[in-house]
Structure 1
Amino acid sequence: MKHLYGVTTAMVTPFDENGRVELDKVENLTEFLISKGVHCLYPLGTTGEMLRLSVHERKAVAESVVKKASNRVTVFIHVGAMNQDDTIELAKHAYEIGADGIGVVTPAFFGANDKELEEYFVTVASSVPEDFSIYLYNIPQCAANDLKTEVAQKIVERCKNVIGIKYSYPDFLRVNEYLNINKGDFSVVPGADRLFLPALAMGCEGVVSGVSCAYPEPFVATYNAFKENNVEKARKMQKIATEYCETLKNGSNMSYFKEALKIRGVDVGHMRAPQIDFTAEEIDLLRLALEDLEKQSAELF
């Protein structure tokens, strides 16, 4: 079964000024990221504003990414939704269109106890073939539910297709616990872009990075240097990647990613309400900061 690895880019979702999904821009972004050397694509997650899209819209975006990628990179579709039926519908759809796997976030907003979380993931995993890769997705600071290590272990024991977890909280003690699930045969990818290199050193397979949607180069360079056992270079690349993370506010507002991409010549449209686009003044400040960073790192990529 396919794994997430290396630089897995969490993709933004382009909208026009009226909030409609722009599939041509989804395809353009897909091509841009592949051209920059990312290893996997992860549309329709938090960076992709997933809970603001309808099931129909999410299916259309998933189809566009899978078709445009055309097996050149690994594609996992995030399918977690606000209700179980929608999640299962999206999971089945991802399998039917030829995605390599799916990510499934914990139920959100409403509290769920450990048994409820276990049964939720087992039910979703059972809705698709057991050779179709599934990553659990734990982002407790947004979802309000935390997937404990022992619960993830129980899910893995019941579901052969649950092979890993995306963990988007910067807790390395928990990362280490996750790495020991299934006697160590369990894929862990952090969602904290700034911890990419130390996560690799711990044994994680890669990162799921929103910042790499706008600036994939330093992340790809960090991974390549690590795989070449060039630790000094990897540290330098991670430092640059971290500077981009800080400039783009670590994805606290997806407008940073969208405006950065537009500054780079990749039009990914607008935010969907209730979020609003940056003002002209905010865009000018961002452009100046990014131009300074690009000058510092131009000779390194």
Structure 2
Amino acid sequence: MTDRPRFRGIFCPNVVPLDAAGDVDESELRRYIDWLIDRGIHGLYPNGSTGEFTRFTAGERRRIIEIVVDQCDGRVPVLAGAAEANLRETLAACEHYAKIGADAVAIVSPFYYPVSPGGVHAYFDEIGRNTPIDVTLYNIPMFASPIDLDTIRRLAGTHERIAAIKDSSGDLPFMRSMIETIRPERADFAFLTGWDACLLDMLELGCDGGTHASSGVAPELTRRLFDLASEGRFEEARPLQQQIAALFDTCFAAGDFPAGFRMGVGLRGFSIGPGRMPRCEEDRAAEPERLAAIRAHLETASLA
């Protein structure tokens, strides 16, 4: 173990461009990755919630990671989303992503069936004993069984491969408790936030970085905020946080998640496609108004 967190900075949970047939548009995805890196993203996080991992086949998910790892080519680390519907497939994904050169994986806790805290621990304990690649625990209680503090503490104390947590609850007291409990015993364990509205507050608490949907639309804003926070210039970063939160709220409200973030990426100059989820007539009719609202935020930030 080292005395530094293994992950630091803003990892973009990138959307996936689709072509007219609804297939992964590899050339546009590669162009998008280069654009994100050029604008200061610290790392890529493909196959996250914003990347609609549940809407792709297992083969497509693996191909997406292969493209991202290849295009990054060591310029920034890749945190590969490895959540699958069951333990066996999740471990198989871990093995594949380790083999192709991903730096780590992020794994959501068991979903669909509610699982007890003991069951969540048992699930990640099995992963910790068998994974060939570093693991980031992914706590997103709105979609999956929550990962409580005691479970995180036990896993961090038992498995060196369990190297970080990404917490998308937006719960500041919970993040503070995690940092105060785990960091003294595990200096290399990283704490990432996944809730855009409180990025600055989380960094001020001592978070090491985050994965934020808004970073795929406005990577310049999240990078600048992170840099200011790293220098302790929190008040100077406050207007940036307000811009990020406003952009996030507008994108989040623009139809079924992550449709608004796909629209935002499209407004930055990419042929992104509508996503895999069929759209209703109400969403189609509202699209011009939603695009205008997102564009207004980008113009305010001088990004359009």
Q: Which residue of 1 aligns with 2:102?
A: 99
Q: Which residue of 1 aligns with 2:45?
A: 42
* Structure 1 counterpart of 2:13, one-letter code: A
* Structure 2 counterpart of 1:261, one-letter code: V
* Structure 2 counterpart of 1:73, one-letter code: V
Is the counterpart of residue 256 in structure 1 residue 260 in structure 2?
yes
CA displacement at 1:231 relative to structure 2: 2.5
Q: Which residue of 2 aligns with 1:171?
A: 171
Does the 8 Å contact 1:138/1:146 carry over to 2? yes
Q: Which residue of 1 aligns with 2:182?
A: 181
* Structure 1 counterpart of 2:292, one-letter code: L
Cα 1:34/1:146, change in 2 over 3 Å: same
Superposed CA offset, 1:1-37 (max 9, x none): 7733221111112233443222222212211211111
Q: Which residue of 2 aligns with 1:161?
A: 161
Cα 1:232/1:115, change in 2 over 3 Å: closer
Q: Which residue of 2 aligns with 1:229?
A: 232
Secondary structure at 1:142 match in 2? coil
Runs of 5+ consecutive residues of structure 1 not aligned to the other structure? none
* Structure 2 counterpart of 1:190, one-letter code: T
Between the aligned residues of both structures, percent identity stands at 25
Is the counterpart of residue 265 in structure 1 residue 264 in structure 2?
no
Is the counterpart of residue 20 in structure 1 residue 23 in structure 2?
yes
Is the counterpart of residue 287 in structure 1 residue 291 in structure 2?
yes
Question: What is the count of residue pairs matched by the alignment?
Answer: 297
Higher alpha-carbon deviation: 90-99 or 178-187: 178-187
Cα distance between partner residues in 1 of 2:69 and 2:230: 27
Cα 1:278/1:3, change in 2 over 3 Å: farther
Does the 8 Å contact 2:200/2:234 carry over to 1? no
Cα distance between partner residues in 1 of 2:286 and 2:237: 32
Q: Which residue of 2 aligns with 1:61?
A: 64
Residues 105-184 of structure 1 correspond to what in structure 2 (within 5 A)?
A: 105-129=108-132, 132-143=133-144, 145-179=145-179, 180-181=181-182, 183=184
Does the 8 Å contact 1:92/1:127 carry over to 2? no
Runs of 5+ consecutive residues of structure 2 not aligned to the other structure? none
CA displacement at 1:250 relative to structure 2: 6.6
Cα 1:295/1:150, change in 2 over 3 Å: same
Provide the TM-score with structure 2 as the length reference: 0.90
CA displacement at 1:274 relative to structure 2: 4.3
Q: CA RMSD in A?
A: 2.2
CA displacement at 1:232 relative to structure 2: 2.8
* Structure 2 counterpart of 1:137, one-letter code: Y
Cα distance between partner residues in 2 of 1:291 and 1:115: 46
Is the counterpart of residue 29 in structure 1 residue 32 in structure 2?
yes
Provide the TM-score with structure 1 as the length reference: 0.91
Q: Which residue of 2 aligns with 1:213?
A: 216
Does the 8 Å contact 2:121/2:155 carry over to 1? yes
Residue in structure 2 matching 1:77, options 77, 80, 83: 80
* Structure 2 counterpart of 1:267, one-letter code: S
